[in-house]
């Protein structure tokens, strides 16, 4: 008796493929409820059930005659798909066979999505999206062409057309044989583009409020806040130094958490106890000295919208229980309206530059209030940890006919990069106001900029000595070049673990790849044989391509 041939049968929704073994003269009917008699075959065949809603009751038949395998689709709804072994024709001489019942395009496989695009300006958005898609498809071993085109130009036949919010289009076209995986990968790409369009729109609106969003650090914080708002998270605490943009980020949250509703702001540090309670919950006429008429509180005015409690860390301890009670029950009473409770529906955002956790430990802030407010806690990094935002602001400010950034000498810019920025954006804005309006390109040296900084400093500082170079040696040079590229993109010396991750992932790894492959003289990815590099450094092609592209982008 001849050896059996394995028929591997796959179907959408099935957990594992089914395996059928056929010897000469044997056959099988495959389907969700197979009936061999109704299959209409002129031979005796067995029945094999395939558990999938996409498979027809009688879907396909397979039988063997000598050294030939025969496959017949039995008028199924979704077709029968055959994977042909390499170098074999469709007549199928005796060999293992793999079948797929129903189209593979509609299968719900868990597929990742492209990484977040790298861009700082509107002009870089479209190329950044295209690069992210190209790198992702490269990692999936898909031979494609990805490029940006203006909206008015007609897309070539067969290209996938992805519309961007900027009016551009990203086109994706296979340059090899199109298999079902290509179409499977288009769905996550479309979701990725839709998400990036929405994020771009949100960033544009926040920039319209006057906020600089250039650094990856702040854009990541903004993205998280917008996502929390869209998810309907009702309470949010923003922690960060003064001048880091907490109020504008609260406005971004409100825009998506309470669309169409009011945004009402209360500064908890600017009012005494009675007046703060009255401003929050309202007061009846005569409830306190000077209350000549009924006052509607911020809580009531914010009904259907968002209440922003700025400087929440300065709220008096004896007011905090009333706020806690309101958050617990949704009810409040106007000052002087004993026994008359009211209810509202509001989202609550709080902000402070104080360390609330330490205040709780020291008994200066109620722990139960912290936990009630802090459904989500978002920390805003100081300006010294996101110097790309400072660069973007300097570039946007004119000194006569040139930007403040263009007026700085390289040494002066490096001094600002290493500055502590204790006043954050307020200190930066004041610095620009002090710079001469008639400055020429590169004319503002270290001394001139230091004088402008000292004019508004609490403590006079001088430029710190430059960071000493690393020891000599090939790998020491590699580490130093990675750090130099990191700083050149607007980052400051790493101050948090997330900074270290960015330095390693986006700069050190690409430079290490170039060092391992000894490619320092290459001008771009097109000059390099990716396959040879992958073999040399013992890495897969997708990793090599990703790291080399990141390296050359960091050198621009």
Tell me if 111 is assigned to some domain.
no
Same domain, yes or no: 11 and 79? yes
The residue written with tokens 């960071």 in the block is 467
Q: 356 and 313 in contact (C-beta within 8 Å)?
A: yes
> How far is the CA of 37 from the CAs of 30, 53, 73, 129, in angstroms?
13, 22, 15, 55
The closest of 200, 5, 241 to 116, measured between CA atoms, is: 200
Tell me if 486 is assigned to some domain.
yes
Tell me if 362 is assigned to some domain.
yes
- DSSP 8-state secondary structure symbol assigned to residue 101: E
In this structure, what are the phi and psi dihedrals at residue 195, rounded to the nearest 5 degrees? -65, -40
* Rounded Cα distance, 97 and 221, in Å: 52
* Rounded Cα distance, 426 and 212, in Å: 13
| Dihedral (Cα; 499, 503, 504, 509), 10-degree rounding | 160
What does the pLDDT read at residue 306? 96
The closest of 293, 225, 300, 228 to 262, measured between CA atoms, is: 300
Average pLDDT of the chain to the nearest whole number: 84
Same domain, yes or no: 245 and 330? yes
> How far is the CA of 433 from the CAs of 208, 245, 402, 403, 456, in angstroms?
21, 19, 14, 13, 11
> Domain boundary residue among 70, 101, 132?
101
Neighbours of 525 (CB within 10 A): 15
What CATH number corresponds to the domain at position 428?
Answer: 1.10.8
What average pLDDT does the segment 327-347 reach? 86
pLDDT tens profile 339-373 = 788 899 999 999 999 999 999 999 999 999 999 99
Three-state DSSP class for 56?
coil
What does the pLDDT read at residue 105? 42
Same domain, yes or no: 323 and 241? yes
Tell me if 108 is assigned to some domain.
no
Q: 335 and 278 in contact (C-beta within 8 Å)?
A: yes
Same domain, yes or no: 127 and 95? no
> Domain boundary residue among 392, 423, 454?
454
Same domain, yes or no: 239 and 367? yes
pLDDT tens profile 40-76 = 888 888 999 888 777 888 898 898 988 888 888 888 8
Tell me if 117 is assigned to some domain.
no
What does the pLDDT read at residue 350? 96
Q: What's the half-sphere exposure (Cβ side, CA atoms, 13 Å) at 170?
A: 26
Pairing between β-strand 18-22 and β-strand 46-49 as defined by DSSP bridges: unpaired
DSSP lists the bridge partners of residue 98 as 8, 83
Q: In the numeric block, which tokens belong to residue 318? A: 């004896």
> Domain boundary residue among 405, 421, 454?
454
Q: 409 and 447 in contact (C-beta within 8 Å)?
A: no
What CATH number corresponds to the domain at position 304?
Answer: 3.40.50.300
What does the pLDDT read at residue 460? 63
> How far is the CA of 483 from the CAs of 376, 465, 510, 520, 522, in angstroms?
33, 17, 12, 16, 20
> How far is the CA of 516 from the CAs of 103, 192, 512, 547, in angstroms?
44, 33, 6, 12
Residue with more model confidence, 74 or 291:
74
Same domain, yes or no: 374 and 399? no
Tell me if 110 is assigned to some domain.
no
The residue written with tokens 């879907």 in the block is 59
Same domain, yes or no: 58 and 130? no
* The pLDDT of residue 410 is above 90: yes
Tell me if 425 is assigned to some domain.
yes
- The parent domain of residue 12 ranges over 5-101
Same domain, yes or no: 253 and 375? yes
What does the pLDDT read at residue 468? 37
* Rounded Cα distance, 208 and 246, in Å: 15
Same domain, yes or no: 367 and 402? no
DSSP 349-405: EEEESS-HHHHHHTTSS-HHHHHHHTTSEEEPPPGGG-HHHHHHHHHHSEETTEEHH
Counting every residue written for the chain, the total comes to 556
| Dihedral (Cα; 532, 538, 541, 545), 10-degree rounding | -80
pLDDT tens profile 199-239 = 999 999 999 988 999 888 899 999 999 999 999 999 999 99
Q: In the numeric block, which tokens belong to residue 541? A: 């092609």
pLDDT tens profile 114-169 = 888 888 778 889 999 999 999 998 888 888 899 998 766 676 777 888 999 998 99
Same domain, yes or no: 240 and 372? yes
Structural domain total, the chain: 5
Same domain, yes or no: 196 and 243? no
Same domain, yes or no: 182 and 64? no
The closest of 328, 329, 332 to 368, measured between CA atoms, is: 328
Report the chain's C-alpha Rg in angstroms.
32
Tell me if 468 is assigned to some domain.
no
The residue written with tokens 């229980």 in the block is 321
* The pLDDT of residue 476 is above 70: yes
């Amino acid at each position: 008796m001849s050896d059996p041939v394995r028929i591997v049968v796959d179907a959408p929704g099935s957990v594992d493929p089914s395996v059928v073994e056929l010897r000469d003269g044997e056959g099988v009917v495959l389907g969700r409820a197979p009936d061999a008699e109704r299959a209409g075959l002129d031979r005796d065949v067995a029945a094999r059930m395939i558990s999938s809603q996409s498979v027809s009751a009688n879907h396909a038949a397979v039988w063997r005659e000598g050294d030939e395998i025969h496959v017949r689709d039995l008028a199924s709804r979704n077709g029968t798909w055959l994977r042909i072994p390499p170098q074999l024709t469709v007549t199928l001489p005796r060999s293992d066979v793999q079948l797929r019942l129903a189209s593979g395009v509609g299968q719900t496989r868990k597929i990742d999505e492209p990484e977040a695009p790298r861009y700082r300006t509107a002009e870089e958005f479209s190329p950044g999206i295209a690069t992210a898609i190209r790198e992702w498809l490269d990692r999936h071993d898909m031979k494609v062409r990805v490029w940006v085109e203006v909206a008015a130009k007609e897309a070539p036949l067969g290209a996938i057309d992805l519309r961007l919010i900027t009016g551009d289009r990203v086109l994706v076209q296979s340059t090899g044989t199109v298999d079902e995986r290509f179409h499977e990968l288009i769905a996550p790409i479309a979701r990725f583009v839709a998400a990036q369009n929405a994020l771009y729109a949100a960033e544009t609106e926040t920039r319209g409020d006057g906020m600089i969003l250039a650094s990856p650090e702040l854009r990541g914080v903004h993205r998280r806040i917008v996502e929390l708002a869209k998810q309907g998270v009702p309470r949010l605490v923003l922690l960060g130094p003064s001048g880091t943009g907490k109020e504008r980020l609260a406005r971004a949250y409100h825009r998506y958490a309470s669309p169409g509703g009011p945004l009402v702001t209360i500064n908890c540090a600017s009012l005494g106890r009675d007046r703060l309670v009255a401003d929050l919950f309202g007061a009846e006429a005569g409830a306190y000295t000077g209350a000549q008429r009924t006052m509607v509180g911020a809580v009531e005015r914010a009904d259907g919208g968002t209440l922003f409690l700025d400087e929440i860390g300065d709220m008096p301890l004896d007011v905090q229980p009333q706020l806690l009670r309101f958050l617990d029950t949704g009810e409040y009473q106007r000052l002087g309206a004993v026994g008359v409770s009211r209810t509202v529906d509001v989202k609550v955002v709080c902000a402070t530059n104080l360390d609330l956790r330490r205040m709780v430990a020291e008994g200066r802030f109620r722990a139960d209030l912290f936990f009630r407010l802090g459904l989500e806690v978002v920390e805003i990094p100081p300006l010294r940890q996101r110097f790309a935002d400072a660069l973007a602001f300097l570039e946007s400010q004119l000194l006569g006919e040139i930007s403040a950034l263009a007026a700085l000498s390289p040494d002066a810019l490096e001094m600002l990069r290493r500055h502590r920025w204790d006043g954050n954006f307020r200190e930066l804005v004041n610095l620009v106001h002090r710079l001469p309006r008639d400055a020429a390109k590169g004319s503002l040296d270290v001394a001139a900029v230091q004088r402008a900084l000292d004019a508004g400093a609490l403590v006079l500082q001088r430029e710190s000595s430059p960071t000493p170079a690393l020891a000599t040696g090939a790998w020491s040079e590699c580490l130093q070049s990675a750090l130099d590229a990191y700083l050149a993109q607007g980052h400051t010396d790493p101050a948090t673990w997330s900074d270290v991750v960015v330095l390693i992932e986006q700069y050190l790894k690409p430079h290490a790849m170039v060092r391992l492959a000894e490619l320092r003289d290459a001008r771009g990815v097109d000059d390099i044989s990716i396959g040879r590099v992958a073999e040399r450094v013992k890495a897969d092609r997708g990793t090599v391509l990703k790291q080399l592209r990141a390296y050359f982008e960091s050198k621009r």
